[in-house]
Structure 1
Amino acid sequence: MTEHVLSGTRGAIAVHGWSPPRPRCLALVVHGYGEHAGRYGELADVLTGHGAAVFAPDHMGHGRSAGERVAIEDFEDVVTDLHAVARLARAAHPRLPLVVIGHSMGGLIAARYAQRYGDTLAALVLSGPVIGGWELPGRLLAHEEIPAVPVSPAALSRDPAVGAAYAADELVWHGPMKRPTLEAFVRTLETVTEGGDIGTLPLLWLHGDDDRLVPLPGSRTGVERLSGGAATERIYPGARHEVFHETNRGEVFADVTRFLDSVLTA
């Protein structure tokens, strides 16, 4: 793994990189709320083993990047930062096709990225994406003071080791959500809803059917609107929010690499 530092829209952005000797494509991995890109080392290993050079930023206010913890006032800035990471990837490996893989909040960022820069992409992968109907921000904003309800580690995966590692990770935010970030979620959900579909760009949607953080039905409406009803979907029985860290992650990884093969062959 290599590490890079970019000048982002609101401060320094830490970027993790993994690369095989002769990559055949580029993959941007876009992490979720409160976590960081370092949690996706296993996914990166699978992707590099399949020929992808992987670049994964810590978003502003997350991980090793600058900014007040988990404070995002405008997700358009995060999308712009992600585009800077794409330029970094293309400078290192020119002319390779680019795939964006976004999880949870990262799915919202990736969806908006595809709306803004879809003509530069070969494919989009969304895992438990925060798009469509997600009620949590509205419920929390209704309170005068945001309730201090952190993410439950048990909601992430059926693998208890995943929850234990998450709870012990000092780079993960374990405090309450912040009002400006919740307000930015609401605005960006509306922006993606109104932003139109992504045309013929291939889209793979992954979701656990026991996802209690980002319930499947709400995401479905967003995915169908974004893809124009043409997404490839994989719904995993019993799986919780983080399918890349689930007990059946071997199946999930195989679905991703199979999808990438179909896109790259086409």
Structure 2
Amino acid sequence: MTGRTVDNSANVGFVATEHWSWALAGHAGEIRARTWPNPRAHWLAVLVHGYGEHIGRYQHVADALIEAGAVVIGNDHVGHGESAGERVLFRDFESVVDDLHEVIVQTDAEHRNLPIVLIGHSLGGMIATRYAQRHRDELTALVLSGPVLGSWKALDLLKYEEIPEDPIDVSTLSRDPGVGSAYAADPLVWHGPFRRRTLWAIEKCLGTIDAHGPFGDDLPALWLHGGEDELVPIAETRTGIDRVRGLGFEEIEYPGARHEIFNETNSKQVLGDVVSFVHRVLG
């Protein structure tokens, strides 16, 4: 672990928990990670961000989890945010899972006795699901927010000889227009087209998840999804969910909510549902 600094400059205007910024070697260069400390923590929350974004967008999520008794960690995936690598290029998601595992291992050395709850959003939900299949014994619970599973309409772009410029309609992120405006203005967010190699890697990972099946009846899991999610439609996700869900599985659909439910107008309700689930699991 190298390069630890304290930074809360992105949170001007409200009181937010300070975080440590640190670095480690990933499969394709330096990976940047954050730890939001909590000296009274009794569980470890691991945040896994989605495609094209970065872990810095999860400050308010970390704050809510810290208030609920967690120490929180998360990293920018390869080619995302402040991590090294060609922008938004994923060659193989098994290596991305390896990076995430190394982040958890290095953090767990400091929080060795805390139960781990993995929380993945969007493409991060796909990564978190594959992580749960490979490292089930490490996890106490899994939370999936609008996860890419089963099928994903973005893969239709592979039919084009040249991937078209098709920027995200920011209005599909949240009913709060401020969320879309902040996303569009964020220099660490990717605003360009998909990489063909990334789409191939996503398609391969979805197939791998389907082939490996349920991550176990003894892993409590919570699936959260916006009922009006146009970026990752709930019907597409359900086909994948049905292949991995075990007996300890719960789901909540939020009518009217769009893709980024942690940034939705009812985000306090969503985060409250996450906290309630974790507290039930922890007993």
Q: Give the TM-score range, shorter chain.
A: over 0.9
Please state if 1:63 is matched with 2:63.
no
Asked if structure 1 preserves the Cα contact closer than 8 Å seen for 2:93 and 2:201, the reply is yes
Q: What is the one-letter code of the residue matched to 2:257?
A: A
In structure 1, the residue corresponding to 2:251 is in which secondary structure? strand
In structure 2, the residue corresponding to 1:185 is in which secondary structure? helix
2:256 — aligned with what? 238
* TM-score of the superposed pair, with normalisation by structure 1: 0.98
How far did residue 256 of structure 1 move?
Answer: 0.2
* TM-score of the superposed pair, with normalisation by structure 2: 0.92
Please state if 1:129 is matched with 2:129.
no
In structure 2, the residue corresponding to 1:92 is in which secondary structure? coil
How far did residue 100 of structure 1 move?
Answer: 0.4
How far did residue 16 of structure 1 move?
Answer: 1.2
How far did residue 228 of structure 1 move?
Answer: 3.1
What is the CA–CA distance in structure 2 between the aligned matches of 1:87 and 1:11, rounded to whole Å? 18
Q: What is the one-letter code of the residue matched to 1:58?
A: D
2:58 — aligned with what? 40
Deviations for 1:215-234, whole angstroms, at most 9, x for unmatched residues?
A: 00111121122113642111
1:76 — aligned with what? 94
**Residue in structure 2 matching 1:118, options 116, 132, 136:** 136
What is the CA–CA distance in structure 2 between the aligned matches of 1:229 and 1:208, rounded to whole Å? 23
1:177 — aligned with what? 194
**Which structure 1 residue ranges, 5 or more long, are not aligned?**
none
Asked if structure 2 preserves the Cα contact closer than 8 Å seen for 1:224 and 1:230, the reply is no
1:103 — aligned with what? 121
Asked if structure 2 preserves the Cα contact closer than 8 Å seen for 1:13 and 1:60, the reply is yes
What is the CA–CA distance in structure 2 between the aligned matches of 1:213 and 1:230, rounded to whole Å? 27
**Residue in structure 1 matching 2:171, options 131, 154, 165:** 154
Asked if structure 1 preserves the Cα contact closer than 8 Å seen for 2:219 and 2:248, the reply is no
What is the CA–CA distance in structure 2 between the aligned matches of 1:94 and 1:112, rounded to whole Å? 22
How far did residue 197 of structure 1 move?
Answer: 0.4
What is the CA–CA distance in structure 1 between the aligned matches of 2:229 and 2:134, rounded to whole Å? 28
How far did residue 133 of structure 1 move?
Answer: 2.1
2:161 — aligned with what? 144
Please state if 1:167 is matched with 2:184.
yes
Deviations for 1:190-215, whole angstroms, at most 9, x for unmatched residues?
A: 00011110112000000001000000
Deviation above 4 Å: which 4+ runs of structure 1? none
In structure 2, the residue corresponding to 1:165 is in which secondary structure? helix
What is the CA–CA distance in structure 1 between the aligned matches of 2:266 and 2:83, rounded to whole Å? 31
In structure 2, the residue corresponding to 1:62 is in which secondary structure? coil
Deviations for 1:1-30, whole angstroms, at most 9, x for unmatched residues?
A: 111101001100000110212110111100
State percent identity of aligned pairs.
54
What is the CA–CA distance in structure 2 between the aligned matches of 1:95 and 1:10, rounded to whole Å? 30
2:244 — aligned with what? 226
In structure 2, the residue corresponding to 1:258 is in which secondary structure? helix
